[in-house]
Each structure stands twice: as structure tokens, then as C-alpha cells.
Structure 1
């Protein structure tokens, strides 16, 4: 009997084994690794540590605030789109005139602002899964981009500078969403996804109502945007102070074992306490996951395409003359009404879950047709019915977002969850981007029709 070899085997068998998932073909198969490294701290498992109630509360509140701050600038730019493209950006000139009795078309569609507000976000979301940047550096960039967006848009001396400010807002929002959604997977004991979604919904309502409210009180759009500089400051405080950083032990494996390969006990080359819960995924593994995500991403993209076509191509053309609101003011309050619906539905996932995601794009397309006909025919008797339609539109959009990411969070294992959440965020950006280009074309067609009617 080889006593030396037998002792080695006994020692090897004494170690606890942990499971990781390896993607093979079209499914996840299990491989086994052994925690044999001497660097492994005694008694520390390769899972996130439990958090107490106070830490859980901090994390939930923190992700709500992060969702609010991350989407705030994006919402502000869309709420200010009609003003940015108008001549009255430096002053508050919302006083009603005789011209308010006729629909007015800006020479450029607010869809142009939407394009500038979403394409950088889409590009960053596409690159985010492969960017070799840690969470701290990413958040620093998010904060810097946010500050630049408010400053450049507020202090612009030409329209192209305003557009550059909108681009920075988009970059901040896109990088922030991909970063924070992925980061949320590290807080397994907290309801971070639902609170994040609720916070993004809150950004829509608070952002749109703060912009509409401050301008309604007499502040110019320029001054209103400068006031918003407090938002990136709040984001930084929340991420580095409010959140309770997760302490996660993660095995770094090179290479990942094949499913049918026998364990030698030497697969782990290091063991360290870091803040990344996921073992690195290969390009092939990521492509397999992306195929599985299409069932979530396509319905979400269609919902966002329809609703942003309504918001950026049709809102500015749906006008009710002879009431207490000017044309610019009606546009702003449509945005507030829409965001109220988004907030309510994004905050409802703990009580109302929608499994049939495919029905949401169908309902949103019906909304698009209703508002399109109103822009052409003015068939609605008053603004209240229009506000009801817009509110319902927001409910559908918020429900699509929160239920999509909630289902992804629950379906995928810890190892791949962060990647899946970040990758799926491409869907809404893609739908909005297509909507932005379509909005410009639709705006031009409808404005030609409206101008011919007025002759």
C-alpha cells in the first residue's frame, strides 16, 4: 500500500466541494471544483455573506436612489426636448399667444433629442459586458458624464453644444444602468432589482415634474438644468456611503473544467475575497446566453419602440387649444403623466407579476395607433382623455421593464445573472434608438400634413 498517496487522497477528500455551472451546447451543465488552495480563509464559503436587516434596508434604499439618479438626467433631457429645440431656451416664454390656437411644429423633431439621448447609451450597453473596468471606476465615469451633461446643456451657446450635453446624459445613463444592474446580483439577500426598477420609475416622475414645475414657477430652462447638478452628487454619496458593500469570496479558476473531465483537485489557482460574484464567461458562453435572452429582449424592445414613438413624434403634435396650458406646457405635462404611470407599474412587481410578456407590446402598439389618429384628426373631445391614454401607456412601459428584469433575475443562476441582467438592458435602448429615427421621419410627414391643413 502506498501510504503517501493514500494520505494525499484522504486530505483531498476532506476538502469541501463547491459547484459551478459550465455552459455546454445549449444548456448549463455542472462541473465540480475543489477548494484546495492554501489562501482560502478558514470557514468562509464561496457565496455572498448574509446581511442584517439594517444592511438590507441600506441596500434597498440605496438602489432606489441609484435608479432615481441614473435615469434622472435622461428624463430631464426628454422633458426639455421641446424647449431645447425652441427659441425660448434661455428665457421662460410660456405665456399664451394667439398662435397657441394652432398646432405648432418645430423645424426639428424632438426625436432628434431622443436619438442623442439614446445612441451613446446603446453603444455603451453593447460594450459594457466586455469592458475591463471595475464598478468603482465605472461609477466615477457615470458621475462625471452626468455633471457634464447638465453643465453643457444649460450653458450652451449653440444647438450643437446642447446636443453634446444630451449625449453625455445618455452615456451616463447607459453606463450606469449596465453597471448597477450587474452590481445588483451581488446583493442576493436584498430586493435590489425591484427597488432599482422603482427608482428608475421615480426618476421619470420626479424628473419630469421637477422640470415642468420649476419652469411653471418662472425659472428658465437654463436655470432649471443648473439646479439639477445636485443629482450626480447624491448618486456618488449613495454608492460609496449608503450601500453596504457586499463581501463575497470567489474562486478564480483557470481553466474551467470540462463536464466529463475528472477532478484532480488542482483546478483552483487562487482564492480571494473580492466584490465580483461571477466567474469569467467565455465569448461562446455569452453568445449562448444571449440567444436565450431573446425571448425577454424582443417584447421589451417593441414596447419601448412604440411608447417612445408616441412620446417623441406625437406628443408635440397633440395639442388642445383654448385651455390653461400653452403648447410647451402641454408637452411637459404629457411627460409627467407618462412617467407617473411608469413609476406605479415599476413599483408593483412585488404584488403584480406578468408572466406573458408578449401581450405588453401588442397593447402598446394599440396605444400608438390611438395617439397617431389623434395627431391627425383631433378626435378627442378634451385633454383629460388624452392624459388617461398617456398614463396607461406609462403603465405598460413600466410593467414591461420591471417584469422582464425580474424574470431574468429569478431564472438565471448567480454565476451568469449579472451578465444576463446587463446584456438584457440592450433591448430597451435598441427599441428607443429605432424609435428615435422613426420619430424624425414621422414628425416630418405629420408636420407636412398639418401645415397643408392650415393653409
Structure 2
């Protein structure tokens, strides 16, 4: 081969390696589609928690006037019933997340199941004649959320990694807009039943987001297959045994995420209700409501921020969340904060840490894990946050009750 020919070949090879990847002018469809799917997936979960008191009140007309946990005077009946709704909104989703990753990834079947369960949940709660039917409706929401998160989040592995960011932002938006939507409709005078029927628009939006806006992976394959992410020769996991063995490698992602959510929901379920400033411009109910909104704002901001700020050491966020637990635990016992704005700042920080841990965990997985195994890995790791929430729920109640028995809380009783 002549020198000129060699130079020509080298120039061709160099031009091939330095050519920029083709622009994907339709990428916006995937980004918008996953944002909508994240919003719809968690919307029902948030609405059911927001509506817990109203759902209970429909079946019991003898509730005491003040049924707020922060008063430490809630009836045992109310505590049990609200606890049942909280468990119904968490446990079915966790069970689903434990099973779904090991099932065939039939995406359309899974999405149809999630949409069907979401629709059934709103209808059951709207038309329920008994408490058990209403709680079954809440459980359907939880199961739908579990199927959706395990499926759609794993489905992002077939798309541009920024779709993971928009999915997370959508779930954060659900936390904020879901609570505001329910409270706003009730404030306009709508009944719990009518509000639930209006929420039937969410499954319809979910259908549009998945089957109309979002592209199918085959439409993006020319661009996706040219990415560096697809060059790994790691074989795909086959069989139950291989998948279970591989789960051990995912603990470095799951354990920090579990602790972040455990500490976060230990505060939210056990300590939030006990924080109270007597001389504030907000009354007791408003303080709790705005603390929840403050928390959701933090979650929404951080779940939408991974393209601006990203980090790998999630265990640091777990440690920082533990410090938040220490602050709130001592605060609700000794009431040493001089102003209500300090708890508001800590709650916002708590939400930022929780949302940041969620989005950065999966964003890191999108970079670290070979594409051939990413779908299963992400589908399994979503179990961690639900497990942390459930453990927090079981531990928060006895701690809450122990604090309520302290002499300091006599001033909060009627």
C-alpha cells in the first residue's frame, strides 16, 4: 500500500471517530412524554394522602372537631383509620416493586395495567359505600404507582439519559401539584367524590403521554445505537437465579437511597405534626399544611436539577438527612427554635435532599450500569425508597406516641 493511500485511510478513520453524533430533533417528545408519565404516575398517590382525612370523614360522622396528629388528642379510631390509608398507599406498591422486575418486560401490558388500576382507584374511592372499598381504592393507586415506577423508570434505559431527569422532575411535580390540585378543588366547594371523578383526567393524560407523545425505542435506535453506552459487551441477565445474584451489586445504590427515605419519612410521618408555634401568624392547621407544601417544593426543585447539579456520593445525603431527624426530634421535645422560619428552612432542605437522592441515584446508574442490565437494575432499585418509607411508617407511630405522653404536650390537649 502506498504512503498516499495510508494517509487517506487514516484521514477517513479520523473523520469517522471525530464526527459528532446526529442531532435528534424529536428528542423533545421523549423529554415531555416522560415528564407527563412521571407526573401522572405519582399524582394519584399524592391525592390519596391529601384526601385521607376526607375519605375517613365520609364514613364516620362522630369524629371530634380537631383530628390532627399534632394535637396529640386524635382518637384511636382516627389514628387507626389514617394509618390504614397510609399503609394502603405504600405497601401494595412495595409488593409490586418486589415482583415486577422479575416478570417479562411487556411494556404495553404493564402500562395498561397501571392506567386501569389508577382509573379503578379514583372510581372506587368516589363511589365507595364502605370504608373497605375506599381503602381498596387507595391500594389500587399504590399498586398502579408501583407498576408505573418499576416499568417507566426502567424504560428510560432505552432513551436519552436526560429522559430520566424529566421523569424525576415529573414525579416531583406530582408531589407539589397533586396536593395543590386536591386542596384547591376542595376549597372551591367540591366534594371528595366530585374531586375524585375530576381526577379521572389523569389516566387519560397518561395514555396521551405514553402512546401519543413518547416515541417508541425503534424510532430512536439510529441515534441511540451510536452512543457510547451501547458498546458494552456485558451479556443480558437471564433467569431468576442470575437476577437475584446480580442484586447484590446494586446494594451500593439501594442502601443509601433507603436510608434517605427512611429518615425523610420518619420526620414527615412522626414529627411534622408535633411542630407548633403558638404565636405564629399561621394557625395550627395552616402550619402543618404549609410545612407539607414547603417540603414538596424542595422535592420538586431537586428532582428537576440533575442537569445543573449532580453528585455520586448519595450516602452523604443520607447522613445529612439524619441530622435533620436529630433537629426535628429535639425540636419537638424542647421547642428551642426562636422562629417558625427555622423549621421551614430545614423542611425545604429535607425535601431537597430527598429529591436529590432519588434523581442522582438513577442518573448515576444510567452512567455506570451497562445498557443490557440497566433496565432490570433500575426496576429493582426503586424498591429501596418504598421500603424506607414503610419502615419509617412503622417506627414513627410509637415514637410519636411516646413524645405525646411527655408533660410538655399537656398544653396541646383540649
Same fold (TM over 0.5): yes
CA apart distance, 1:52: 5.9
The aligned counterpart of 1:56 is 27
Q: Is the 8 A contact 1:112 1:436 kept in 2?
A: no
When residues 338 and 356 of structure 1 are mapped into structure 2, their CA distance, relative to the original with a 3 A threshold, is same
Q: How big is each residue's C-alpha offset from its partner over 1:225-270, in whole Å with a ceiling of 9 and x where there is no partner?
A: 33222111100111111111111899xxxxxxxxxxxxxxxxxxxx
| Aligned-partner SS, 1:379 | coil
Q: Is the 8 A contact 1:105 1:447 kept in 2?
A: no
The aligned counterpart of 1:165 is 137
CA apart distance, 1:375: 2.8
Out of 293, 300, 305, the residue aligned to residue 343 of structure 1 is 300
Q: How big is each residue's C-alpha offset from its partner over 1:279-309, in whole Å with a ceiling of 9 and x where there is no partner?
A: 4523333233211110110010011011111
Count of paired positions: 374
When residues 71 and 219 of structure 1 are mapped into structure 2, their CA distance, relative to the original with a 3 A threshold, is same
2:125 counterpart of 1:153: yes
Counterparts of 2:393 and 2:364, CA distance in 1: 27
| TM-score normalised over the length of structure 1 | 0.74
The aligned counterpart of 2:229 is none
The aligned counterpart of 1:363 is 320
2:344 counterpart of 1:387: yes
2:162 counterpart of 1:205: no
CA apart distance, 1:324: 5.8
Q: How big is each residue's C-alpha offset from its partner over 1:327-372, in whole Å with a ceiling of 9 and x where there is no partner?
A: 4444333222111101111111111112211111111111122222
| Rg larger for | 1
Looking at secondary structure, tell me which structure has more helix per residue.
Answer: 2
CA apart distance, 1:73: 1.0
When residues 433 and 51 of structure 1 are mapped into structure 2, their CA distance, relative to the original with a 3 A threshold, is farther
| Aligned-partner SS, 1:164 | helix
Q: Is the 8 A contact 1:69 1:231 kept in 2?
A: yes
Structure 1 window deviating more from structure 2 (362-371 vs 150-159): it is 150-159
When residues 361 and 195 of structure 1 are mapped into structure 2, their CA distance, relative to the original with a 3 A threshold, is same
The runs of 5 or more residues in structure 2 that have no matched partner are 1-20, 222-234
When residues 332 and 249 of structure 1 are mapped into structure 2, their CA distance, relative to the original with a 3 A threshold, is closer
Q: Following superposition of structure 1 onto structure 2, how do residues 38-437 of structure 1 map, counting pairs within 5 Å?
A: 53-85=24-56, 87=57, 104-105=73-74, 107=76, 108=79, 110-132=82-104, 134-187=106-159, 189=160, 191-247=162-218, 279=236, 281-321=238-278, 325-437=282-394
| Aligned-partner SS, 1:405 | helix
The runs of 5 or more residues in structure 1 that have no matched partner are 1-49, 251-277
Counterparts of 1:211 and 1:60, CA distance in 2: 26
| Aligned-partner SS, 1:380 | coil
Structure 1 window deviating more from structure 2 (167-176 vs 376-385): it is 376-385
| TM-score normalised over the length of structure 2 | 0.81
Q: How big is each residue's C-alpha offset from its partner over 1:38-91, in whole Å with a ceiling of 9 and x where there is no partner?
A: xxxxxxxxxxxx986342110010001101110111112222334445x37899
Looking at secondary structure, tell me which structure has more strand per residue.
Answer: 1
Q: Is the 8 A contact 2:59 2:130 kept in 1?
A: no
Counterparts of 1:117 and 1:61, CA distance in 2: 27
Q: Is the 8 A contact 1:208 1:332 kept in 2?
A: no
User: Over aligned residues, Cα RMSD in angstroms?
Assistant: 3.1
When residues 112 and 101 of structure 1 are mapped into structure 2, their CA distance, relative to the original with a 3 A threshold, is closer
Counterparts of 2:75 and 2:186, CA distance in 1: 19
Q: Is the 8 A contact 1:201 1:339 kept in 2?
A: yes
Q: Is the 8 A contact 1:114 1:312 kept in 2?
A: no
Q: Is the 8 A contact 2:59 2:131 kept in 1?
A: no
